[in-house]
Structure 1
Amino acid sequence: MRRSLMRLCKLPTAEELHLSTARTSKHPVIATYPTTSVTYTLILSLLQVFRYNWCSGIPALAVPPLEPLLVAAINIHSGAGPVVLSQNYRHIQLHGLASTILTTYKADLPHYRLITNSMTPKMEFIADYVMKGRILVLPIQGKGIANVTMVNLVVKHDLIGEPVVRNGQTYMHIREYKVKFLPKRVYLHFTNLFNGDKRLGDQMNLFLNENSELVFNELKESYEKSLSSVFKNVTNTIFDKVPMNKIFIED
C-alpha cells in the first residue's frame, strides 16, 4: 500500500516517501493521488515550488515560522458535563509542528476539497493562562504558565475551499477548515494554581494527569475549533497568493 510521508520542514526524496514518481523536463519529482473523478498530480510539497524552509517561515508569502508557531490568543470554554472551565490563553507557542508528517492525502479539486490525516509525535501548547472553573467536584483556578502536551497526535484535516478568480488566475481560498484531534496521550501542567499554593497546585496537576483523557475530551472541541482557525489562516496565506495551477498539476 502506498503511503505519503511528507515532512514539513525537510524536503524528502521520493524514495523516502515511498511514492510512485515521474520525472519530466518541465516538473520535478511529483506524486499522483486519485480524486473522485480525475487523477491529479500534487507537487510533493510547496517547499519544492518555493525552495523555502517552512521551519523558518516563508517571508515572501507572509507565512510564519512553524517552530514554534506563535498565536496571539485563544479562549477555551466548557460549560457542561463533568468539566466546567473558562480558559484564556495568551502568547501561545506551538512546538512540534515541524515534525508533522502527512499519512494520507485525498484531493477532490473539482469541488475544492482536501482531506488529509497527519501525525505529530509530540505537540506542545505553551502559553500564559488564566483559568477558573471546576473538574468533577473540585474547584480550580489559577494564573500562570500552561503546558498541554499531546503525544502521537493524529489530526484529521478537512479543508473546504472555494474558487477566487483574479487577473485570469484561479485561487483556492479555504472557507472552512475542520480538524479532529486524536492524541494517544495528553499531559497537562499549570503553574501557579490556587494563587501559588504549591501543595494544592501539585495535587491538582497530579489529578489532571490521572484524568487527562476525561479532561481533554471535554475540552477537545474548543481546542479543535480554535486551532482550526489558526491552521486555516496559515493555509490561506499561501493559497490566496499562489494560483491552483502552480500547486496542482492536472495529469
Structure 2
Amino acid sequence: MTATSVFAGVILVTLMVASTSNGAEFPSGYTLCKQDDEKCLFERIATTFAKHSKGIPEVNLVALDPLIIEKMDIVQGEGPINIVLNFKNVELTGLSQSAIKKANGFTADPTRMELGILVPAASLVGGYKINGKVLILPIQGEGHSNMTMENCHIQLKWTGKLVDHANGKKYYQMDKLKATFDTTRFYMSFSNLFNGDKALGDNMNQFLNDNWQDILKELKPAIVNAFVQIFQSVISNVFNKVPYTEMFQ
C-alpha cells in the first residue's frame, strides 16, 4: 500500500514550481530550489507538505491528503493467500505528515529520479469487497475497511526523459515508476465479514492482525502494483502540465 503510498513524488515536483507559463503561482516569498540542491528540496518539502496537501489545480496536482481513490483492486492468486480484494470510494490519509528521506535525480537532463519518504501512519479507509482464502481460512465479506501501516518507509524510483513540446518548451516524460515499502506494523479491520456474522468476523479480524507479517509478505507485490498504477498517473499529470525548466531557479 502504499503505497501506501506511494503518491508523494507529485509533491516534490509541485513544491519546486513557483510560477509557470500557465499562470500557476505559489505563496509570495516562496523560494525556488536550484537543480541538484538536495538540502533545499528537503527543506521546501518538509515545510509545505501540509499546505499543499489539498492539491493545486493550476498544475494538475490532486488533493493528496486525503487522496480519493474511486477504485482499486488487489488480486493475489498464488501461494498461501488467494484473494480478490476490491476497494471502492476509499481515502488514503497520512501523506501530509510525511518526512522526506531522499530526493535526487532532478538534474538539468534528468533520466532517473528517486524519492524516499517516511509516513508515520498511512491509512486506506472505505468500502471493500473480498473473497478467497487467507493462509488456511476462507474469507468473504463486503462493507467498510481500514488498513493502516505505521512507520511506512516508501521508496519511489522512476525513469524518463525530456521531450520537446509543440509550444517550444521541454517537458519531462515518465516512462516507468517502481515502488517499494516497509512498515513496522500493519493493521486490518473489515466490517460485515461472512454476511455480518459477528463471531466469525471478529475471529477473522483477530487472525488477520495476529498474522499480519505473513499476510503482508504475500500481499506486498499486489499492493505495490495497485498503487504504482494510481500514482504514476498522478505524477505524470503534473509533469505533463508544467515545463521542466520552470520547476527550478
TM-score, normalised by the number of residues in structure 2: 0.80
Q: Secondary structure at the match of 2:62?
A: coil
What is the identity, as a one-letter code, of the residue corresponding to 1:176?
K
Q: For 1:84-233, list aligned pairs within 5 A.
A: 84-107=82-105, 109=107, 110-166=109-165, 167-233=167-233
**1:34-65 Cα shifts (integer Å, max 9, x gaps):** 7xxxx99869658999xx93222102123211
Q: Secondary structure at the match of 2:231?
A: helix
**Distance in 2, Cα, partners of 1:172 & 1:43:** 21
**Distance in 2, Cα, partners of 1:29 & 1:248:** 6
C-alpha change, 1:47 and 1:124, in structure 2 (3 Å) is: closer
What is the identity, as a one-letter code, of the residue corresponding to 1:189?
S
What is the identity, as a one-letter code, of the residue corresponding to 2:125?
I
**Distance in 2, Cα, partners of 1:131 & 1:78:** 11
1:69 deviates by: 0.4
C-alpha change, 1:53 and 1:47, in structure 2 (3 Å) is: farther
Q: Secondary structure at the match of 2:65?
A: coil
**Distance in 2, Cα, partners of 1:103 & 1:43:** 8
Larger RCO, structure (CA 8 Å, separation 6 or more): 2
1:129 deviates by: 0.8
Any conservation in 2 of the 1:82–1:136 contact (CA below 8 Å)?
Answer: yes
Any conservation in 1 of the 2:46–2:100 contact (CA below 8 Å)?
Answer: no
Specify every segment of 5 or more residues in structure 1 that has no aligned partner in the other structure, as ranges.
1-5, 13-26
Report the aligned-residue RMSD.
3.0
Which structure's residues are more often strand, by fraction?
1
Question: After alignment, is 185-194 or 163-172 more displaced?
Answer: 163-172
Any conservation in 2 of the 1:29–1:43 contact (CA below 8 Å)?
Answer: no
C-alpha change, 1:47 and 1:64, in structure 2 (3 Å) is: farther
**What is the aligned-residue identity percentage?**
30
C-alpha change, 1:74 and 1:123, in structure 2 (3 Å) is: same
C-alpha change, 1:47 and 1:246, in structure 2 (3 Å) is: farther
**Distance in 1, Cα, partners of 2:32 & 2:248:** 13
**1:107-163 Cα shifts (integer Å, max 9, x gaps):** 164352111211000000012111011112111100011111010000010011232
Larger Rg: 1
C-alpha change, 1:29 and 1:75, in structure 2 (3 Å) is: closer
**1:198-225 Cα shifts (integer Å, max 9, x gaps):** 0000000000000011111111111111
Q: Secondary structure at the match of 2:183?
A: strand
TM-score, normalised by the number of residues in structure 1: 0.79
**Distance in 2, Cα, partners of 1:118 & 1:179:** 11
What is the identity, as a one-letter code, of the residue corresponding to 2:145?
A
